[in-house]
Amino acid sequence: MNPALSTTLLSRIEDAGLNASAPPQQRWVDGWLVRFSAGKAKRARCVNAVAAGRLPMSERLAACEQVYADAGLPMIIRITPFTLPSGLDEALAAQGFQRFDDTRLMVHADLATPTALALPAGATLLSVGLEAFANTVGAFRGSPLAQRQAHAERLLNAPVPFSAFELRIDGQPATCGQMATEGGFVGLYDVFTAPAFRGQGLARVLCSQLLAQARAGGTQHAYLQVEGDNHAARSVYRRLGFTDGYAYHYRARDPAAA
């Protein structure tokens, strides 16, 4: 964790991120939040070990594996600085669970003066429906229909409100993104630029517009999640005022299956 940021703040952001990624397909297993959506986002189809629990580790893992076997999905376990029990990461490694997808939770700790960058010539920023958004970002990513449908289902049933947007150039969708708001926090999600429009700074413009909207609505803090080796994206977010808050990763017996 970043020692320059309050552990309480980071813990509250972790809670906000869990709420924002909640799918209908989830249950509790002895203090672990087990999610098994068929969508693309691993946050919605992984074990979040948020409590120490009482069962022996072997029994708890077996119970979780059965949930994923019934759902036809590989079991993935998310490891954060808040994971409990504290030795879970080492225990999983000893059992052959492989580490993958090193990720950064980035934080904008003070949205006092966010600046909305001007839209480029020919650009418009439109609010879109959540189902339409899932289809747009799914098309950008080349996601199969089942993943797009699962994404839309998760957004439509989310316990916190989402707002989705498209930045269009001459009427054509170029960049999209959405934000989830909860209390004084806003999370930026699914910021993605179509391949034909990359290299023009459109994602930075879109994010700046969303942050300004969030601040106008009374939001004080922002967060987002990005892969650790996505240096280009992290550079964009740093220019917007974000800094690394903490790192997390996943473990699975076969990361390729995840």
- How is residue 72 written in tokens? 């036809």
Residue 170 φ/ψ region, left for φ over 0, alpha for ψ in the -120 to 50 degree band, beta for the rest: left
CATH number of the domain located at residue range(s) 123-247 in this protein: 3.40.630.30
Q: Which amino acid is at 253?
A: R
Give the tens place of pLDDT for each residue, 2-20: 999 999 999 999 999 999 9
Residue 157 phi/psi, 5-degree rounding, is -110, 10
Check residue 106 and give its pLDDT.
97
CA distance 143 to 146: 8
- Report the alpha-carbon distance of residue 134 to residue 151 in Å, rounded: 6
Q: In Å, how far from its chain's centre is CA 5?
A: 20
* pTM, full prediction: 0.93
- Residues 82-95 pLDDT 10s: 999 999 999 999 99
Query: What does R_g of the chain's alpha carbons equal in angstroms?
Result: 18
**Integer Cα distance of 167 and 175 in angstroms:** 5
Cβ atoms 77, 46 nearer than 8 A: yes
The CATH 3.40.630.30 portion of the chain extends over 123-247
Residue 244's pLDDT band (cuts 50, 70, 90) = very high
What would the pLDDT profile of 130-176 be if each residue is shown by its tens digit? 999 999 999 999 999 999 999 999 999 999 999 999 999 999 999 99
Calpha distance 211→215 (Å, rounded): 6
